[in-house]
A = this chain, B = another copy of it.
Amino acid sequence: MKELKSKYDLFRQQVHIIIYGTNTVAGRLFDLALLVLILLSVLMVMLETVDKVDQRFHQFLIISEWVITIFFTIEYILRIISIKKPHQYIFSFYGIIDLIAILPMYLSFFVTGTSVLAVVRALRLLRIFRILNLVHFTGQASELKLAIKASRTKIIVFIYFVLVVCILLGSLMYVIEGDASGFTSIPVSIYWCIVTLTTVGYGDIAPITPLGQVIASLIMILGYGIIAVPTGIVTAEFARGRNSGLFLNLRNPCVNCGTEDHRENADYCYHCGHPLHDEA
Chain A residues close to B by CB (< 8 Å): 42, 45-51, 118-119, 122, 125-126, 128-129, 131-132, 137-138, 140-141, 143-144, 147-148, 153-155, 157-159, 162-164, 167-168, 171-172, 174-175, 184-188, 190-191, 194-204, 206, 210, 213-214, 216-217, 220-221, 223-225, 227-244, 246, 250-251, 257-263, 265-275
Residues on the B chain within 8 Å of A235, using CB: 228, 231-232, 235-236, 238-239
A48 to chain B, nearest CB (A): 8
Task: Tell me how many chains of this kind the complex includes.
Answer: 4
**Residue pair B232, A240 in contact (C-beta under 8 Å):** no
Which of B42, B155, B217, B224 is the one whose CB lies under 8 Å from A191?
B217
Minimum distance in angstroms from A230 CB to a CB of chain B: 4
Q: Are A202 and B203 in contact (CB under 8 A)?
A: yes
Q: Which of B168, B196, B238 contacts A236 (CB 8 A)?
A: B238
Closest chain B residue to A217, Cβ basis: B194
CB distance from A267 to the nearest CB of B (A): 6
Closest chain B CB from A9 CB (angstroms): 38
Among residues of B, the one whose C-beta sits closest to the C-beta of A160 is B135
Q: Once the chains bind, are B229 and A144 in contact (CB under 8 Å)?
A: yes
Could you say which residues of chain B place their CB within 8 Å of the CB of A155?
225
How far is B228's CA from A99's CA once the two chains are assembled, in angstroms? 35
Contact: B273 with A187, CB < 8 Å?
no
Q: Which residues in B have their C-beta under 8 angstroms from that of A242? A: 236, 239-240
A224 to B198, Cβ gap below 8 A? yes
Q: List 21 A-B contacts (CB under 8 A).
A: A49-B184, A128-B164, A131-B164, A148-B229, A155-B225, A197-B224, A198-B221, A201-B203, A228-B232, A228-B234, A229-B234, A231-B231, A232-B234, A251-B265, A259-B260, A261-B263, A263-B270, A266-B270, A267-B270, A267-B272, A268-B271
In-complex Cβ contact of A201 among B162, B202, B241, B274 (8 A): B202
For A187, A200, A236, which residue has the most chain B Cβ atoms within 10 angstroms? A200
Q: Which of B138, B243, B267 contacts A243 (CB 8 A)?
A: B243
- Rank and list the top 4 A-B pairs by shortest CB-CB distance, nearest first: A268-B273, A200-B201, A258-B258, A266-B270
Complex Cα gap A240–B200 (Å): 31
Contacts A191-B217, A198-B224 supplied; 15 other A-B pairs, CB < 8 Å: A42-B167, A46-B185, A125-B168, A140-B153, A187-B210, A188-B213, A204-B206, A227-B231, A228-B230, A228-B235, A235-B235, A236-B242, A240-B246, A267-B270, A273-B275
